């Protein structure tokens, strides 16, 4: 009976998704506005430039693509549009990856190999599921090492979230959405120019969903989520030369935690009540000033980041057993851009970061030792970049280098008593270079480019300076102060073709990954001891292609229509230590879509295909191949009476059984429909 009721509900929602089609006018009117990929980018060079003038390929996800994606967080957005890697668990946990590297599996900002930024500075987490899309104007994705400008963790690349600043007339929106699995969402936003000096954008949203059903397994128990997001920006323009921006966001994020019956990895236990709190937030103050008649520009950012990960795992009372980690970061980033002449721009700057991790645990209502102790992490960095635009801007050269110094300390946790805890501090430094060259031909219809750069990841405090005995594991953890950072050297070449209505990009890259840090356990006078060593290299190579074709422009059609496809093929991904494939790196990924618009109607059909990859099976602790999978989504939007908008999505249209991570099957076919009033 429950399934029949659910089917009737889904059929009703499906009928509602078709309702806008019945209201499309029969005669052609003005084409629907479909937002093209923005020509200006900022992440690759830290300054706003035309994309074609920066010899580093930047993939841009526009606001229109965000709205037509049918998803609400950065993780699902990356999974839909960007090839590289997506690792989606049930609940609120989604590491994302680029070119064989990914953010930390548990969301730690410091432990990842891909860097998440917001408006150019660290966002404070590696968990992309924590970052909602209400305030995001566009997303810029840089594939390949970016440590020369952004430091540690930027080995695979950088994903920069650029927020709305309130451009244009004052206005706002309020709307709601319902969907399968008791999904409800409410949202309100407002922004625009108050006067010639003040503009702002603010938004608030709430979202909830119950346990979802899968195609073959049934109900995935303990997968419900509750989210509240509030944030915004206020920009004050003092005059033509000086402006300030105050921004921030807070996300109250709670979800249930799936558990497995009898410790079997792939079977959900409906009787075990678990939940977690993964709230996160930040605030930042940015200054932009022009000096010497615009020859010199100073950008300064001050930021505070806060990130919480708390797991309540008691069988009867979830709070009886819990583990909590809170990261707090104070930082500032300054860059000075000197336009020496029309063809030479010099950028110099520095970054200061100070992070403190607090860790605590409760076992049977009593304070206990968490698995990971606390830490202090201080980073001081200086960077320099020279940008040359030669031969009437046909030849573009970008060279950068960064020096980082780190001071790390392993600290006792807030709870529990460690045996023989030795609080140690270690420091080290690293230099990261990068150079890129681009050449334009045929009146900028063709560009050829090449890049070479190094990425690195800092060792963690535990890997460098731990020295304590953990009674619950019976293990002595001993850091290695002689560790080198993990590094990667990447070489890539490519070309871009720009024709009327069509853009095609092709890349070949190869990465030498060196000094991988692994743990080693040995017996020290009867005490099991774990330490860390640089041991093992890897090679990752492949091709990447991108196609965007506005075919309605090519054929002068009376409606808007475009096709896009992003593809990656990893031809080599060998771990030289084991001689086997690197785990969690697919052989190929193809993510494509078709967008159509006519009058007030717009629709997008998207398809994601992820190839096979080697994984660790946590049932057997053996390495095995995970099969390829694919799924389709459809989003429809209709705007009417100038102020109303109805939007509907069918996710997993063909009811395909798939999972990004083994043991975490994704939802069956499901529906969402919403109504928004714009004012």
pLDDT tens for each residue of 184-228 = 999 999 999 999 999 999 999 999 999 999 999 889 888 899 999
Which token pair is 397?
């050269």
Q: Evaluate whether 328 touches 356 at the Cβ level (below 8 Å).
A: yes
Please tell me the distance from the alpha carbon of residue 454 to that of residue 475, in angstroms, as a whole number: 35
Residues 6+ apart with CB under 8 A from 302: 284, 285, 286, 331, 332
Residue with tokens 């924590």: 130
Please tell me the distance from the alpha carbon of residue 139 to that of residue 122, in angstroms, as a whole number: 14
The pairing of strands 527-534 and 58-61 is unpaired
Q: Which CA distances in Å does 311 have to 107, 123, 492?
A: 13, 21, 42
| Burial of 172: CB neighbours in 10 Å, binned 0-12, 13-18, 19+ | middle
| Burial of 487: CB neighbours in 10 Å, binned 0-12, 13-18, 19+ | buried
CB-CB neighbours of 9 under 10 Å = 14
Domains present along the chain, CATH in parentheses: 2-678 (2.40.170.20)
Residues 6+ apart with CB under 8 A from 8: none
For 296: left if phi > 0, alpha if psi spans -120 to 50, otherwise beta; the answer is: beta
Please tell me the distance from the alpha carbon of residue 349 to that of residue 443, in angstroms, as a whole number: 34
Number of H helices, E strands in the chain: 6, 43
Q: What is the pLDDT of residue 109?
A: 87
Closest-CA residue to 604 (of 642, 575, 572, 636)? 636
Please tell me the distance from the alpha carbon of residue 622 to that of residue 40, in angstroms, as a whole number: 47
Those residues of the chain that have pLDDT short of 70 are: 1-38, 259-267, 273
CB-CB neighbours of 369 under 10 Å = 24
Please tell me the distance from the alpha carbon of residue 565 to that of residue 544, in angstroms, as a whole number: 11
- Torsion angle, CA of 46/48/50/55, rounded to 10 degrees? -10
Which token pair is 451?
């890049």
Q: Evaluate whether 452 touches 462 at the Cβ level (below 8 Å).
A: no
The pairing of strands 527-534 and 475-478 is parallel
Q: Evaluate whether 502 touches 548 at the Cβ level (below 8 Å).
A: yes
Q: What is the pLDDT of residue 9?
A: 39
Q: What is the pLDDT of residue 15?
A: 36
Q: Which CA distances in Å does 31 have to 163, 467, 555, 561, 602?
A: 27, 66, 14, 10, 10
Q: What is the pLDDT of residue 569?
A: 98
Q: What is the pLDDT of residue 23?
A: 35
Q: Which CA distances in Å does 668 have to 48, 212, 353?
A: 42, 8, 43
């Amino acid at each position: 009976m429950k399934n029949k009721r659910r089917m009737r509900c889904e059929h009703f929602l499906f009928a509602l998704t078709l309702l806008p089609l019945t209201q499309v006018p029969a005669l052609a009117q003005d084409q629907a506005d479909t937002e093209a990929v923005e020509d200006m980018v900022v992440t690759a060079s830290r300054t706003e430039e035309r994309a074609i003038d920066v010899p580093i390929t930047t993939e841009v996800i526009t606001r229109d693509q965000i709205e037509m994606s049918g998803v609400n967080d950065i993780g699902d957005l990356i999974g839909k549009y960007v090839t590289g890697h997506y690792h989606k668990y049930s609940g609120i946990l989604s590491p994302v990856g680029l070119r064989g590297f990914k953010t930390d599996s548990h969301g730690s900002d410091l432990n990842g190999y891909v860097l998440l930024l917001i408006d150019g500075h660290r966002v404070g987490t590696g968990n992309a599921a924590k970052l909602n899309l209400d305030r995001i104007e566009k997303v810029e994705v840089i594939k390949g090492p970016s440590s020369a400008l952004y430091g540690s963790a930027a080995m695979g690349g950088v994903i920069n979230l650029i927020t709305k600043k309130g451009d244009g007339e004052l206005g706002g929106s309020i709307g709601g959405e319902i969907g399968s699995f008791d999904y409800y969402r409410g949202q309100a936003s407002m922004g625009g120019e108050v006067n010639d000096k003040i503009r702002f954008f603010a938004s608030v949203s709430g979202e909830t969903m119950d346990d979802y059903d899968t195609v073959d397994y049934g109900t995935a128990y303990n997968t419900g989520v509750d989210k509240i997001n509030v944030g915004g920006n206020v920009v004050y323009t003092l005059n033509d030369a000086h402006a300030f921006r105050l921004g921030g966001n807070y996300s109250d994020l709670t979800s249930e935690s799936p558990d497995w019956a009898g410790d079997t990895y792939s079977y959900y236990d409906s009787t075990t009540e678990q939940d977690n709190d993964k709230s996160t937030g930040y605030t930042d103050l940015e200054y932009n000033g022009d000096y010497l008649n615009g020859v010199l520009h100073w950008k300064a950012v001050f930021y505070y980041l806060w990130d919480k990960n708390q797991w309540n795992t008691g069988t009867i009372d979830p709070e009886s057993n819990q583990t909590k980690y809170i990261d707090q970061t104070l930082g500032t980033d300054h860059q000075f851009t000197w336009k020496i002449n029309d063809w030479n721009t010099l950028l110099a700057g520095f970054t200061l970061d100070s992070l403190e991790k607090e860790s605590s645990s409760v076992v049977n209502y009593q304070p206990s030792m968490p698995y990971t102790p606390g830490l202090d992490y201080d980073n001081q960095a200086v960077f320099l970049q020279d940008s040359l635009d030669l031969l009437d801007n046909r030849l573009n050269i970008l060279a950068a280098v960064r020096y980082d110094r780190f001071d790390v300390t392993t600290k006792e946790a807030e709870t529990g008593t460690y045996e023989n805890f030795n609080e140690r501090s270690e420091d080290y430094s690293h230099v990261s270079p990068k150079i890129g060259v681009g050449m334009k031909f045929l009146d900028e219809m063709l560009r050829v480019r090449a890049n070479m750069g190094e990425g690195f990841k800092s060792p963690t405090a535990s890997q460098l300076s731990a020295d304590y005995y953990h009674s619950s594991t019976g293990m002595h953890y001993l850091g290695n102060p002689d560790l080198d950072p993990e590094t990667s050297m990447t070489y890539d070449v490519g070309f871009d073709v720009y024709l009327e209505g069509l853009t095609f990009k092709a890349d070949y890259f190869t990465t030498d990954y060196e000094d991988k840090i692994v743990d080693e356990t040995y017996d020290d006078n009867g005490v099991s001891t774990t330490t860390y060593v640089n041991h093992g290299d890897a090679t990752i190579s492949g091709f990447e292609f991108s196609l965007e074709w506005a075919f309605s422009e090519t054929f002068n059609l009376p409606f808007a229509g475009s096709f896009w496809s992003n593809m990656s093929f990893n031809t080599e991904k060998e771990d030289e230590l084991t001689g086997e494939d690197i785990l969690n790196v697919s052989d190929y990924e193809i993510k494509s879509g078709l967008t159509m618009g006519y009058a007030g109607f717009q629709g997008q059909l998207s398809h994601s295909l992820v190839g096979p990859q080697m994984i660790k099976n946590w049932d057997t602790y053996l390495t095995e191949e995970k099969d390829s999978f694919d799924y389709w989504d459809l989003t429809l939007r209709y705007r009417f009476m100038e102020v109303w908008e109805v939007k509907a999505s069918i996710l997993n249209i063909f009811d395909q059984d798939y999972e990004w991570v083994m043991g975490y099957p994704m939802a069956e076919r499901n529906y969402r429909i919403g109504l928004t009033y714009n004012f």
